[in-house]
Structure 1
Amino acid sequence: MTAAVFLDKDGTLIDDVPYNVDPDRITLAAHAGEALSLLRDAGYRLFIVSNQSGVARGLFDEAALEGVWRRIETLLAPWRVVIDGVYWCPHHPEGVVPSYAHDCDCRKPQPGMLLRAASEHGIALSRSWMIGDILNDVEAGHRAGCAAALIDNGNETEWLMSPLRRADVIAPNLLVAAQAICTQGRRCA
């Protein structure tokens, strides 16, 4: 079983443009390529886990997400970083598309996407990390059995705390989070 880093997409891996599925408007967050290269070199497998409620809200079709993932792959290519898997939750209980308008176990803060990736790829969750820019990401990581890092970039606005929402690492950007993860011996690959 190998260790992994699960990455939130919007506001963590790429700059946050709400409900964006236009590949031309996708840009990597500062130092993201370098950060993922560092994690990959440390032996971590890399997965994107992302809530995509725009599908349930009728703002775009689920198929539109494929162009997003291809663009991210292209942007990471100069660092020779390959994402091992991409998981998204298209559901939201307040959605307008009936087949997606419901509660589920994959929408963060639930751990469903992480659990599915771990099962499909032989990931040791106790040696893995979740990195995100809001406390729902932290909670999802902890619910799955991972350590969790919070990118404190201003995107978390509610700060509703509980033991599951206390980050193991708080960092100003993805590179600082990656460096901290790679220096924590208890969970490193």
Structure 2
Amino acid sequence: MNRRLVAPPPPAAPARRDDGRGPWLADGPPARGPARRGAARALPALVLFDRDGTLVEDVPYNGDPARVRLMPTARDAVAAVRAAGIPLGVVSNQSGVARGLLTRDQVEAVRRRVDELLGPLHVWAICPHGPGDGCGCRKPAPGLVLAACGRLGVPAARAAVIGDIGADMGAARAAGARGILVPTPVTRAEEIQAAPAVAPDLLTAVRLLLSSDPEGGHRPMEVEER
């Protein structure tokens, strides 16, 4: 998720504060559950992606579907997870809603555009709150990960989260899920050092998940797992 400070136009409406109802959830096609053949290889039962800076280019407070651009290897990464029979989802902080810079309709329009580009994902969990709202869903809190897992009936311990900053890894850790960091130019050095696993791109991160084997299966050489 974006951490850069920008100077957008003054909001046209009062900032939305925490309404106490937790994250927004959007469902995609029914999930058939984790691939049966993956159980012996410890494949994840659900793969959750951060949105901005991970699946799509980070455009601060973007509410325009026309500005949505996929990150390198995002299409192939999603296709690989689908081919393995594993449900997919997105967990995304969207504080622009709380700041009065985005509407729910705009967030939904961007979600639909991502689904158009990648194919419908099984679940979206979005935090519309700001840093000071005290919600339990804004990453690095675990609420988004837990909500997505709950919607699909997947134990958080069997989920994996792929993101580009430390808040994504913090949410994964707090929920008890696995985390893989795919750094971008905005990722801090200390976040890379603290990440449980680091991959140079999304497809490599997915390949790590799909090749995981507690009995000593192959791990790609370009991935550093800590």
1:54 paired to 2:96: yes
SS of structure 2 residue aligned to 1:30: coil
- Give the whole-Å Cα distance in 2 for the aligned partners of 1:185 and 1:37: 21
Amino acid at match of 2:198: I
1:173 paired to 2:191: no
Report if aligned partners of 1:118, 1:125 keep a CA contact under 8 Å in 2. Answer: yes
Identify the residue that residue 127 of structure 1 maps to in structure 2.
158
SS of structure 1 residue aligned to 2:190: coil
The 5-angstrom pairing of residues 1-189 of structure 1 reads 2=34, 3-77=45-119, 82-94=120-132, 102-157=133-188, 159=190, 166-186=194-214
TM-score (ref. length: structure 1): 0.85
- Give the whole-Å Cα distance in 2 for the aligned partners of 1:86 and 1:148: 18
Q: 1:93 to 1:152 in 2, by over 3 A?
A: closer
- Give the whole-Å Cα distance in 1 for the aligned partners of 2:191 and 2:80: 31
Question: C-alpha displacement at 1:160, in angstroms?
Answer: 5.7
- Give the whole-Å Cα distance in 2 for the aligned partners of 1:12 and 1:93: 21
SS of structure 2 residue aligned to 1:86: strand
Q: How many residues align?
A: 173
More helix by share: 1
Report if aligned partners of 2:92, 2:125 keep a CA contact under 8 Å in 1. Answer: yes
Identify the residue that residue 99 of structure 1 maps to in structure 2.
none
- Give the whole-Å Cα distance in 2 for the aligned partners of 1:183 and 1:166: 22
**Unmatched tracts of structure 2, length 5 or more:** 1-32, 35-44, 215-226
**Unmatched tracts of structure 1, length 5 or more:** 95-101
TM-score (ref. length: structure 2): 0.72
Q: 1:157 to 1:133 in 2, by over 3 A?
A: same
- Give the whole-Å Cα distance in 2 for the aligned partners of 1:147 and 1:166: 13
